[in-house]
Chains A and B, each alone.
Chain A
Amino acid sequence: MEEIQPFFEKYYLLPYAFAFLIGCVSGLAELASRYKDHPVRMLSYFSSNIYLLINGFCSVLALWFISEFDINIGSVGETEPGRIILAGLSSMLILRSSFASIKQGDKSIDAGFAAISQVFLNSADRSFDQKRSYKNLQKVSKIVKDIDFDKAQKSLPTLCLTLMKNTSIEEQRVIGKEVANLNKLDIDNFTKSILLGIIISEITDTELLKEAVDTLYDSIKLTDEQIERISNYKVSLKKIEDLKKKFKD
């Protein structure tokens, strides 16, 4: 450690750069856990990048405070790398802090850095949801277009969850409940298949979903009669819709 110390003294901005990087990485880890099905895509959103930069700057600020005011942080603070790591990780603490909780109606709003970071996280959430939903819907509807929900509702999630090695029991339970609820809904088979695909792709991704559908295709595909029935049903639906307008009043 003592050998590193002169190096940091020579390049005095380097500790700040490291702290900045650690702050960004800790923010990145949080975003990755939020958007675990597409961790790379979130980097294309403006609000996500701003959030990472804020994390980085908070870490730089924390390091400046520690160094400038000689804050006692125990034995960790005795070496430059210790101070850098602590300052880098402190962005997580700073950005989640709030010094008051303001009650507005039924909601309680945090006053502090937590509220600021939440603005960017919410914005990232929205951007991510919009783009993900659009792209997922396009991909999933193509993958499941010939799939019979009744046949696939157990086998498809079971295969995907077996292939996924880090899905917790609780996550599986949630998926199981969602699929069971979906099964009971009074909606058409195709919509159910799309929703099943979306539920699974949130845990796996569309690539694995496609592989699983391809593997099980022969046992979960719609029969020719079902396809014909669905196409007739779509024609009937249009007529029903028109007739309902006439009979409504």
Chain B
Amino acid sequence: MKKKESSFIGFFDGYKAGNIAFSEPSLKVYKNNLINQIKNLINIIQATNEPDKILIFEKLIKSLEKNNNENIYQYILIIEAIKLFIDTNDPEIFKTNDQLLQSIKKIIYDLLNVSEKIEDSELSSLVIEIAESFNEIIF
């Protein structure tokens, strides 16, 4: 066995190399998925009687695409936008428009996944709140 030349230089060498080589993209994947889901939601809303409701989502997409960093505030923005959309719509629309229902469900499912990954009580309580209230509306 090769004896060490310095007490812990190898550890920091490896740590640095590991930091450069490693890229675990799961959160980025969720963010990209969410962006795609919201774009899909915009298309669905455009076909409804209230196409002006896409404005908030368009602004949201711009903000998400502009910001390359993954932080919880981006997810909180998504939650707030979805919450606003759900609150300002007649609950019946989600029961009659299956495309819209599935789109919102997919977004909430991805947000649940994100909050599972990020240890943040604010994010998880907001996601749980929106998921529970939407669950009450649709069931």
**Is B42's beta carbon under 8 Å from chain A?**
no
Interface residues on A, range: 35 or more
A68 interface contact, C-beta 8 A: no
Quick check: A177 and B4 within 8 Å, CB to CB?
Answer: no
> Is B121 at the interface (CB under 8 A from chain A)?
yes
Contact (Cβ within 8 A) B22 A181: yes
How many chain B residues touch the partner (CB < 8 A)? Answer: 44
Q: Contacting B4 at CB < 8 Å: which of A158, A167, A185, A248?
A: A167
Interface residues of A in 205-249 (CB under 8 A from B): 229-230, 232-233, 236-237, 239-241, 243-244, 246-248
Interface string of B22-35 (1 = CB under 8 A from A): 11101100000000
Question: A167, A177, A232, A237: which contacts B116 (Cβ < 8 A)?
Answer: A237
A4 interfacial contact with B, CB 8 Å: no
Contact flag A240-B121 (CB < 8 Å), given A176-B18, A186-B24? no
Task: Give chain B residues whose Cβ lies under 8 Å from the Cβ of A166.
Answer: 1, 3-4
> Which single residue of chain B is at the shortest CB-CB distance from A228?
B121
Q: Which residues of A contact B2 (CB under 8 A)?
A: 168-170
A75 an interface residue at 8 Å Cβ cutoff? no
Question: Of B7, B15, B105, which contacts A162 at CB under 8 A?
Answer: B7
Nearest residue (CB) in A for B123 is A236
**Binding stretch for chain A, among B54-62, B85-93, B125-133:** B125-133
A248 and B109 CA atoms in complex are apart in Å by 6
B8 touches A181 (CB 8 A): no
- Check B19 for interface membership: any CB of A closer than 8 A: yes
Query: Is B16 positioned at the interface, with any CB of A under 8 Å from its CB?
Result: yes
Residues from 161 to 182 in A contacting B, C-beta threshold 8 Å = 161-162, 165-181
Q: How far is the CA of A165 from the CA of B2 in the complex (A)?
A: 11
A184 within 8 A of B: yes
Asked if A49 is an interface residue, CB under 8 A from chain B, the answer is no
Residue B52 at the A interface, CB < 8 A?
no
Q: Is A70 an interface residue (CB 8 A)?
A: no
Check if B79 is an interface residue, CB within 8 A of chain A.
Answer: no
| Chain A contact residues, CB within 8 Å of chain B | 154, 157-158, 161-162, 165-181, 183-189, 229-230, 232-233, 236-237, 239-241, 243-244, 246-248
A–B complex contacts, Cβ < 8 Å, 12 sampled: A154-B15, A158-B8, A158-B11, A168-B3, A169-B13, A173-B13, A173-B17, A177-B17, A181-B22, A183-B19, A241-B116, A247-B106
